[in-house]
Structure 1
Amino acid sequence: MQGPVCIQAGKNRFRAPQPPTPIKNGTYDTDRAFDMCPQRTVNGSEDCLYLGVYSRPWRKEQALRPVLLTFYGGGFIRGSASFDIPPSGFPVLNVSSLNDYVVVYSNYRTNVFGFLPGSKIASHSDVDLNPGLLDQQAALKWIQNYIEQFGGDPRNVTIWGQSAGGGSVVAQTIATGNKGLKLFTKAMSSSPFWPKTPRYDAPESEVIYQQTLRDVGCANCTDEIACLKSADLQLLRDSALRQSTSLQYTTSAFTFGPVIDDKFLTQPLSSVITNGALNAELVLTSYNLHEGENFIPPGFTKANTSATDGFNSSEASFDSWIRGYLPGFTPSDIDAVKALYPASGTAEEIAYNTTYTRAGLLYRDLGLACPAYWLSSAAKKGWVIEYTISPAKHASDVQYWNTIGEIQKTHAVTYQGYAGAMASFVQTGDPNVHKVTNASIVGVPEVRSGEQFLVTSGGLKNGSIGMLEQRCAFWLSVAGRVPV
């Protein structure tokens, strides 16, 4: 079924999600399609905060089942739950009849509508910072209030997402705004995209706010917030699209994303990992071998400077990119980065000698693999999976758990071992309890054992995580200057 969580449009633009309008007479059609939140050029409606529920048949006399809430990816600039029907949990759920849980998939606001930063936003009583994250929290609260009606157990909730959906899992798992609420017990994060997270009033945050004002004609208004709330939807959509892609292949930055807001998200990930406690005791994460290459300048593959992004494969070009990507780093910081990621080097499952792979590995670690490792290593019990099957780019792994196709038959053992570990984690809190593969196939080791689970073209294996651990320790030591 599908139904409303809350409605956000007009006066509710940039606000935390509001309660839905009561249905006092008649019947609400829960089986109709729902719109995405505003994004790209013409897509989406501000009346977009809906969710869907999917499960196997259930009767009220049966026991309540675990619940899985999924967040979609899209770099915090686009995405929609309506793209996920069947939802991302479908191939995972059906890997084995041992598992029976309820899947919830919900929309949340992205780009300027979900992540407009700035001190003016923070100080105004009629708008909120990080409303996209608050949308996700609203879905979690809906689960607590209503999921029993659909056979779900509100005391046994897992959150899961890939890319920015995985980053959303990071945000909810470290958020001060979730402390003590017990909205979920387990966190599963695939390729968690966790971009730099400045404060809401940092210079780079104010640049986004001011550019948005100019783009929609609010720069000279006495009441900027009132102007933004009444600005034409298409102008805001166009502004978000321009800003979202302006830095993607130069400094490898995405414009919109979570910021430290002093309310819901009060500490950066690095501080929580070092000093704090997570909102989930059990964490399963994953990352892909070459997925950082999706986010770096394609010009790194070329000897001559690319007209598109201004980069080439030279050492000087690599140095220029690092300075743009990490502008807060000192010269000694940059020297340390280059020593950690030399022109020719090795990492867990790879040896390389190209600028493209070098930069991709750096980006992968800082923005994806280290957030995965940090989250799992900080949990009471945690596990890490590395996906290495060529091309092992960002989202290469979704063929095993977010699509229904021949690969689940032609590569049955990989599917059963990989998706089976996910399903077991959702159902039991441990990726090995409902292990589908036979005793000759390895299980998923705890990260504290010093090993990770490898999904390779040669089968399922266990391998050392020590090299990643060392690189992530470096990034943790300089996290304040990233910032992350």
Structure 2
Amino acid sequence: MISRLSCLVSLGLLVGSALALPEDVQTQPTVILDEATVIGQPNGTVVKYLGLPFAQPPIGDLRLRLPKPAPPYTGTINATAFGNQCIQKTPAPVSLPSTVPASVGTYIAGFLARQDVPFSEDCLNLNVIVPADAHPESKLPVAVWIYGGGFEIGSNAVEPGEVVVARSIEIGHPVIFVAMNYRLGAFGFLGGSEVKDAGVANLGLHDQREALRWIQKYISAFGGDPEKVMIWGESAGAASVAMQMQTNGGDTEGLFRAAFMESGSPVSTAYVDSPYLQSTYDQIVTDSGCSNATDALECLRAVSTEVLKAAMDKTPSFSSYQQLNTPWFPRADGTFIPRPPQQQLLEGPIASIPFIVGNDVDEGTIVSFGTLNVTTDDEFLEYVNSNYYRNTSRAAVAKILDLYPADPAAGSPYNTGDEFAYSPQYKRMAAFQGDFFLHAPRRTFVQHLAEKQPVYSYLSNVRTVDGIGAAHGMELADVFGGGPLGDYLIRFAATLDPNGDGAFEWPRYSKAAPLLLTLNDQEPALNLTADTYRAEQMAYLTKLSLADPM
């Protein structure tokens, strides 16, 4: 009993069961978990239960170890405030020239902004948001959100899940929203041979899996149906969803029945013990003062949070010169991710479930400001060769210059002519990076699986900020703002079919008819686009990436 209570005290969730609760708290909604009464926060047509621990705090000797399930709940738990965010990497500052519209800086700052919620390693908690009238017999579908942030930043406090639940009630398909935290950066995705040998690589993905197990055990108490779970994410969260589909030989263990991915799919990454990841590990060890330790991993478990974070902050981030080639993306470890994700996709197996995946038109624009100093063809070639295709011949990489010309009118943001060419190579870099990391992997993903299982794919051409086109993440305002893509998502979570309610018909994707539901910021608001754009370019990038993953 004492150890269970201590765990809850450490998470700031316990309101002692022997204490008299204020009258206004006594009237709040509650859920019974194990031997605990969990107090929620009503908000209009929904109720929020926030900061519930799904695993033991990964602190002390549990740092850099696989997550352990939380002990049974006891006492009274006040779940009316967000739980701690996980420790995050401080992104490199983004310096924009005066020619970039000020709104672009505001948009990027929004991506890098931190929530006003405490940071701690004791962060493995989740939020459950339900319709106000849900009860244990409701058996509602469950949409499980995994946030993005390059596996460096982000938390379950970022997106307003209550908006999704309220909207689901409005359109007659009520769902439950769950959002988990998972460890980030050096605390969740440390690489190197020592990490691989110890079986503690990709810990953030293991955290996600543990949260899914928690949902199976407890979601019925909130009114959810554990057999109707859809996993869903954006960017790094979407890539996480894809890897949850790939792990365990494609066996979902009954943890989910469908998936929804916004701007993410099996990515072009290599192995967790590659020279790049090993050098990062060695530098973290040195900067943490552990280079002379007999067991460096044990030493890393003992240093202070501040020391380990400071070491992590010296490494590249997605906003630095290396851009998408950071050491914090998941890599193949032989266990959770047996082989590089794109290679594994083609070799199989993968979960045979219906899924939706899509992209924004201009995926590469906001991640290409870190290389504005790359201004010539030779510098562009050297950058791509040394940063992304390190084991590919210069001649093979040089073909990319022909496929992605320096002409601004051919670059991203697309269909803007010579506008927004912030440097001689910016629009070329944005076009290449958007295809290399997001569009081409998504196309490979859907084309490989469309004849095997139900697949739907979309393209968002909604531009909310002038100067960067329909940029990475812009569809989030639609999904979390009651827009059409959000309605499709809700129906898919509820029925495994995004169509219905008189909405514009979204056809299944097939090789014979590779059609993308396209969302526009002008009329027509919705139409269909053939998934054939930049076919030669993407086919070539996929060929290089399969042979030489990052």
1:117 aligns with 2:191: yes
Residue number among 267, 283, 304 corresponding to 2:339 in the alignment: 267
Q: CA–CA distance in 1 between the matches of 2:136 and 2:195?
A: 49
Contact 1:177 / 1:264 at 8 angstroms: preserved in 2?
no
1:382 is aligned to: 455
Instruction: For structure 1, list consecutive stretches of 5 or more residues without a partner in the other structure.
Output: 301-309, 409-414
Q: CA–CA distance in 2 between the matches of 1:321 and 1:77?
A: 23
Secondary structure of the equivalent of 2:131? coil
The CA deviation string for residues 440-481 of structure 1, in whole angstroms up to 9 with x for no partner, is: x45345244221111112321101111355444333322234
Contact 2:517 / 2:527 at 8 angstroms: preserved in 1?
yes
Residue number among 203, 207, 221 corresponding to 1:149 in the alignment: 221
The number of aligned residues is 455
Q: CA–CA distance in 1 between the matches of 2:60 and 2:536?
A: 49
Q: CA–CA distance in 2 between the matches of 1:278 and 1:88?
A: 32
1:450 aligns with 2:514: yes
1:238 aligns with 2:287: no
| Structure showing greater Rg | 2
The CA deviation string for residues 216-272 of structure 1, in whole angstroms up to 9 with x for no partner, is: 110111121111000110011122222143883245422212110111110222223
Contact 1:420 / 1:435 at 8 angstroms: preserved in 2?
no
The CA deviation string for residues 69-109 of structure 1, in whole angstroms up to 9 with x for no partner, is: 10011110011102234457447635x42211111111000
Secondary structure of the equivalent of 2:533? helix
Shift of 1:395: 1.3
Q: CA–CA distance in 2 between the matches of 1:429 and 1:347?
A: 36
Q: Kindly tell me: are residues 144 and 469 of structure 1, through their superposed partners in 2, closer, same or farther at Cα, counting changes over 3 Å?
A: farther
Shift of 1:59: 4.8
1:20 is aligned to: 70
Secondary structure of the equivalent of 2:291? coil
Residue number among 53, 60, 64 corresponding to 1:10 in the alignment: 60
Q: Kindly tell me: are residues 193 and 247 of structure 1, through their superposed partners in 2, closer, same or farther at Cα, counting changes over 3 Å?
A: farther
Q: Give the alignment of 1:374-453 within 5 angstroms.
A: 374-377=444-447, 378-379=449-450, 380-390=453-463, 391-402=469-480, 404=481, 415-416=483-484, 418-432=485-499, 434-437=500-503, 441-448=504-511, 449-453=513-517
Secondary structure of the equivalent of 1:83? coil
Q: CA–CA distance in 2 between the matches of 1:279 and 1:266?
A: 15
Considering fraction of residues, name the structure with more helix.
Answer: 1
Percentage identity across paired residues of the two chains: 25
Shift of 1:299: 5.0
The CA deviation string for residues 156-194 of structure 1, in whole angstroms up to 9 with x for no partner, is: 211111111111112112223662513211111101176
Secondary structure of the equivalent of 1:284? strand
Q: What TM-score comes out, normalization by structure 1 length?
A: 0.86
State the superposition RMSD in angstroms.
2.6
1:362 aligns with 2:432: yes
Contact 2:266 / 2:441 at 8 angstroms: preserved in 1?
yes
Paired amino acid for 2:497: D
Contact 1:251 / 1:325 at 8 angstroms: preserved in 2?
no
Contact 1:252 / 1:296 at 8 angstroms: preserved in 2?
no
Contact 2:164 / 2:486 at 8 angstroms: preserved in 1?
no
Q: CA–CA distance in 1 between the matches of 2:398 and 2:530?
A: 26
1:338 is aligned to: 401
The CA deviation string for residues 311-356 of structure 1, in whole angstroms up to 9 with x for no partner, is: 22x3233223212332222123213322322334759994566632
Q: CA–CA distance in 2 between the matches of 1:178 and 1:92?
A: 32
1:71 aligns with 2:146: yes
Q: Kindly tell me: are residues 372 and 40 of structure 1, through their superposed partners in 2, closer, same or farther at Cα, counting changes over 3 Å?
A: same
Shift of 1:19: 1.9
Shift of 1:367: 1.1
Secondary structure of the equivalent of 1:109? coil
Shift of 1:50: 0.6
Q: Kindly tell me: are residues 284 and 193 of structure 1, through their superposed partners in 2, closer, same or farther at Cα, counting changes over 3 Å?
A: closer
2:527 is aligned to: 461
Paired amino acid for 1:236: L
Q: CA–CA distance in 1 between the matches of 2:394 and 2:338?
A: 29
2:378 is aligned to: 316
1:191 aligns with 2:263: yes
Q: Kindly tell me: are residues 114 and 298 of structure 1, through their superposed partners in 2, closer, same or farther at Cα, counting changes over 3 Å?
A: closer
When structure 1 is superposed on structure 2, of 155-164 and 78-87 the one drifting more is 78-87
Instruction: For structure 2, list consecutive stretches of 5 or more residues without a partner in the other structure.
Output: 1-48, 91-113, 464-468
Q: CA–CA distance in 2 between the matches of 1:89 and 1:330?
A: 48
Q: What TM-score comes out, normalization by structure 2 length?
A: 0.77
Contact 1:71 / 1:162 at 8 angstroms: preserved in 2?
yes
Contact 2:364 / 2:472 at 8 angstroms: preserved in 1?
yes
The CA deviation string for residues 280-311 of structure 1, in whole angstroms up to 9 with x for no partner, is: 421111111112111124554xxxxxxxxx32
2:248 is aligned to: 176
1:303 is aligned to: none
1:477 aligns with 2:547: no
1:304 is aligned to: none
Q: Kindly tell me: are residues 468 and 245 of structure 1, through their superposed partners in 2, closer, same or farther at Cα, counting changes over 3 Å?
A: same
1:57 is aligned to: 132
Q: CA–CA distance in 2 between the matches of 1:46 and 1:283?
A: 33
2:7 is aligned to: none
Contact 1:54 / 1:103 at 8 angstroms: preserved in 2?
yes
